[in-house]
Amino acid sequence: MEGQVAMVTGAANGIGRAIVERFVAEGMQVVAVDISSADLTEATASYGDRVHAAVADISDRTQVQAAVHAALFRFGQIDVLAANAGIADGEPFLEIDDKSWRRIIDVNIHGTFHCVQEAAKVMARARKGAIVCTSSTNAWYVEKNLAHYNTSKGGVEALVRSAAIDLAEFNIRVNAIEPSMVKTRAAFITEDPVGGPEYLKRVPMARFAEPAEIAAAVAWLASGQSSYITGQTLILDGGLTLGIDMPLPAAPLPGSARADSDA
């Protein structure tokens, strides 16, 4: 990936910040996009000319277009897009109002679409590119009080598959990652002294993910090592969604070999 140019959204914190760090370590130049000017300045200050900071609200297409234009002006191309930016909130289903619903849908679905489409227009001219979108296990393994977030991430997964089939003719690959709980400011449960340990009882690996681990998966999907993979979703959940941890029965169940031998 040496010498390639990446655009990373939600770049000032958490997973996005870790993706920028990983891409720079891979020898890439990066356009780091975030809605927070102050956070973005702090996150990118140490990279010098390798990283260009672009402030944008991805729910506004014109701001996304401006960030894409900045990438072209500064680096001349876009080889990789990490469409990572997203927001969440927890509210009981019956209390979610239109304003709250629309904001999450506007950022997570509309915003991701804006980024994918605008970056793909550039990639299509070069007839190559790799796009990785950040979805979530919430796309299908839903959590209570997150109906708007769950719905938005399900939409991202469908968008990825749709974009992948439409953009394959331009040699553009589109894939997704689906993390569960990662140590970021949005995953408040990871810092909860009571709720955190309770949550981890359901995770076979018994720990939360580090942002760098998610960034490593993004880098792999963006690299030539995954050159024949498109329209796919990589789940990063420590085994959370594998199944239900059931206790062993106190005695052999009727009809089993053990029950028959006891008889």
pLDDT in tens, 127-165: 999 999 999 999 999 999 999 999 999 999 999 999 999
Give the tens place of pLDDT for each residue, 174-211: 999 999 999 887 777 888 888 889 889 999 999 999 99
Phi, psi of 179 (to 5 degrees): -75, 160
> Taking Cα atoms as reference points, which of 67, 80, 72 lies closest to residue 1?
80
* Identity of residue 213: E
How confident is the prediction for the chain on average, in pLDDT? 95
Cβ atoms of 81 and 71 closer than 8 Å:
no
Domain locations along the chain: 5-262
Beta bridge partners of 159: none
Quick: pLDDT tens for 28-40.
999 999 999 999 9
What's the one-letter identity of residue 220?
Answer: W
| CA-to-CA dists, residue 202 to 180, 205, 227, angstroms | 12, 9, 34
CATH number for 5-262: choose from 3.30.70.980, 3.40.605.10, 3.40.50.150, 3.40.50.720.
3.40.50.720
Q: Which residues are catalytic?
A: 149
| pLDDT grade for 252, boundaries at 50, 70 and 90 | confident
The answer to whether the CB of 53 falls within 8 A of the CB of 46 is no
Q: What is the pLDDT of residue 187?
A: 72
